Amino acid sequence: SPETITTRFFTAYPWDKSSLKSLPVDLQQFEKLDAYALKVNVKNSVEELVTALLKQARTDLEKVRAIWMWICHHIEYDVVGYHNKSQLSCKPIDVLQTGKSICEGYAGLFEQMCSIAGIQCMKLSGYSKGYGYKMGQTFTGESDHAWNAVYLDGRWHLLDSTWGSGSVDDSFTKFTFRYNEFYFLTHPALFINNHFPDNSNWQLLKPALVLKDFENNMLHNSNFYTLGLLAAHPGTGVIQTVNGKAAISVDCRSSMLFTFKLKGIQEHGLMTLRKHGMTLEVYPQKTGSHKLQIFAKSSKASEDVYNCVLEYVLECKSVDKSTRFPKDLHQPVGPSWFSERQGFLRPSHPDPIIHTNDGRCSVTFTLGKDISVLTSLHSDNSSLTEDMRRRHIMQIHRGNQIELKIHLPHAGNFVLKIYAKKKSDPGNYDYIFNYLISCLNTEVKWPAFPQSYSKWAEDYEILEPLSGLLPANRNVQFKLKLHGIAKVLVQADNTYPLTRSRDGYWEGTCNTAGCTEVFVMVHENANHSFYSHVLKYEVETQ
């Protein structure tokens, strides 16, 4: 029994986050050996099988690898036998000849093959967070799983060939071979996440984890680690909301993309990407128990497949009705390494939510690429058309700086969506990111900015009047920054020329009496009589 093994083998080593394995392993060096082991086809005796496998294996590590690869690709999980254990033999020779077994048989065959190969190997048993595991459940009674420890390079290492071979479907009626490298020589600090041995020495950890902590700790499946994720907070699988809110964060090695689902739908959350992870705030809108899943994918992955990396249960006692997000809000929210990569640098507002009391805000970026920017404003309770809402945002360009001036039409929560495309590209704009703009002041009621036409150049600027709605029967002051222009006229009931001041602004006044619209027109060339419309203002009705 393992008790007799002296404890000097159990050198505890914390996870330094550099490797998922307890032994430095170069998988490329195994490629030839792996390919060879998969082709070996011997069914007469375990001895003959091992002899054949070891032809290409020199070191102890290579011998263990060949045995591991063969078992993971040739023994399938016996879903029928699992339900009818009395008819099932877990003897190594029977496992070999039928080609199927349950964990007990995988671990027994592994142990015997190692023994024949002259490698110290133990069959271990304990509790596992495998098929049928429910978040936060307790473990009592007999152990439910078996795996192995092998002795290599002066210390013990853990592996689980059952879980390395593939997976069973939810109804536990069908096994699928799907090789999983994660369970070969897994670092003990990671293995303990879903394997709790009967004898705590075999955790290979100091101090050893107690069962209560094993039960409460968050289950990280192998995707979590293979994708390069490092930690999740909170570390327990069941979270109590506080005042209707739960906060989750994930740390990872490199830039990753994340999504989430609350009860199967991506809603009631605010997720922000960080350089090395993400943070998520969730506000369930119903009390009770809710499943929260978090998905991740590498930022380099070409295919759009997110893998589930975490599953929490949220226990929600009260609902925060005041925090409701607009349906047009897209996750993640706010600027991030992703928007930076698309050319939006140095945001004036690094946070996802912009709070404004007077209904106005101004967001600036440095554009790191030669891009055209398009924006839109969305709200759940707005009677305005999308085209009209768009006119509540004004773009101002100064060199490679862009400013988005926003005047909200009313109080509430708005989504500011930002799209971009390369100036050289004829195609459509791509969605990049969005902000949540929040204004609680019910007095707010800003008019739209004036309408601009195609001749209004990107680096023109309106200093006044900013409001697209001018008062009736008034003298209105105009001040515009335009360049490469010969003449500027303001067309109301009469025509008013603007004059160019020393500092390059076009200035003047116009009277709004007797008209419903006012246009600004420019003359690009003094020799031509042709004027282009660049701006249009409405005039308040009497």
pLDDT tens, position by position, 244-260: 999 999 999 888 999 99
In a domain? residue 465: yes
Regarding whether 54 and 202 lie in a shared domain, the answer is yes
**Which sequence positions are flagged as catalytic?**
103, 145, 160
Joined tokens for residue 359: 């209904």
Q: Which of 439, 462, 488 is the last residue of a domain?
A: 439
CATH classification of the domain holding 376: 2.60.40.10
In a domain? residue 126: yes
Arithmetic mean of pLDDT, 509-530: 88
Arithmetic mean of pLDDT, 432-458: 95
Question: What percentage of residues in the chain have a pLDDT greater than 70?
Answer: 97
The structural domain count of the chain equals 4
Contacts of 4 (CB under 8 A, 6+ apart): none
pLDDT above 80: residue 525:
no
Regarding whether 124 and 45 lie in a shared domain, the answer is yes
Residue 305 lies in domain: 226-316
Question: What percentage of residues in the chain have a pLDDT greater than 90?
Answer: 79
In a domain? residue 144: yes
Mean pLDDT of the chain: 92
In a domain? residue 9: no
Measured between alpha carbons, how far is 144 from 127 in angstroms, rounded to an integer?
5
In a domain? residue 445: no
Write down the pLDDT at residue 154.
Answer: 93
CB 189 within 8 A of CB 158: no
Measured between alpha carbons, how far is 480 from 499 in angstroms, rounded to an integer?
10
Regarding whether 472 and 407 lie in a shared domain, the answer is no
**Could you give phi then psi for residue 19, rounded to 5 degrees?**
-140, 150
Write down the pLDDT at residue 14.
Answer: 63
Rg (CA), the chain: 33
114-133: pLDDT as tens digits:
999 999 999 999 999 988 88
Q: Which of 395, 413, 439 is the last residue of a domain?
A: 439
Taken in order 217, 220, 224, 228, the sign of the CA dihedral is positive
Q: Which of 316, 346, 366 is the last residue of a domain?
A: 316
217-232: pLDDT as tens digits:
888 888 899 999 999 9
pLDDT above 50: residue 451:
yes
In a domain? residue 21: no
Regarding whether 31 and 83 lie in a shared domain, the answer is yes
Full-model pTM: 0.84
Measured between alpha carbons, how far is 237 from 215 in angstroms, rounded to an integer?
9
Regarding whether 238 and 162 lie in a shared domain, the answer is no
Specify the pairing of strand 487-491 against strand 495-500: antiparallel
Regarding whether 379 and 300 lie in a shared domain, the answer is no
Write down the pLDDT at residue 87.
Answer: 82
Regarding whether 196 and 61 lie in a shared domain, the answer is yes
Measured between alpha carbons, how far is 504 from 75 in angstroms, rounded to an integer?
81
Regarding whether 162 and 55 lie in a shared domain, the answer is yes
Write down the pLDDT at residue 495.
Answer: 94
Write down the pLDDT at residue 13.
Answer: 55
Q: How far is CA 497 from CA 467, 481, 483, 509, in A?
A: 20, 15, 16, 8
Regarding whether 415 and 483 lie in a shared domain, the answer is no
